[in-house]
Chain A
């Protein structure tokens, strides 16, 4: 089955700096890669996703890049704000065939 590795496990940045979280996946058949933000006591919230037919996608301050050859994808958050502090999970799946497999999470702390 799919295995998703995520790092770093914790990341502390100063407000206004950029944050980058990286994930690798094992199943070359995976074709969908979402990122979720989880705040304390809440469920994961989808913040951005990318399909394997594109290499990059951007939505305001967040962007995701995908390298299919290397089987890795990354989340980039620019101009970080204290409200970006949360746990971020990457995930991968082969849509229509298998459910999402999650990475182990990155606790992002944005220092004001």
Chain B
């Protein structure tokens, strides 16, 4: 069964460093998303991406965040200068023409 894959599964970084989280969405999907989940809390929307541009973003997704689809398969989330409060599990998700959203297993980001 096709699945969304994310790398790395764990990322530890120092405060102020840049991190790039990587995702390979399901191959025929057109809509891509990043969500995050702080430990024990709800899953929060960050950004959606369609047709090579951001279609929606939340107030969490400030100037420190950016997304990119550098080639036909990868979808990345960059955090330019990480803060302690960026520590969370980051989930990539994708969907095709219908509304069903499929999530990857996540990248656990720890900012020290």
Contacts and interface: CB of A to CB of B under 8 A. Distances in A.
Interface size range of chain A in the complex: 20 to 34
Question: Of A46, A98, A99, A105, which is in contact with the most chain B CB atoms at under 10 Å from its CB?
Answer: A99
Given A43-B106, A44-B91, A105 B42 contact: yes
Contact of B100 (A49, A89, A98, A104): A49
A14 interface: no
A101 interface: yes
B51 interface: no
A89 to B, nearest CB: 6
B109 to A, nearest CB: 14
A68 B11 CA distance: 42
Nearest to A93: B99
The 8 closest A-B CB pairs, nearest first, are A43-B103, A102-B43, A95-B99, A104-B42, A99-B45, A43-B105, A44-B103, A32-B99
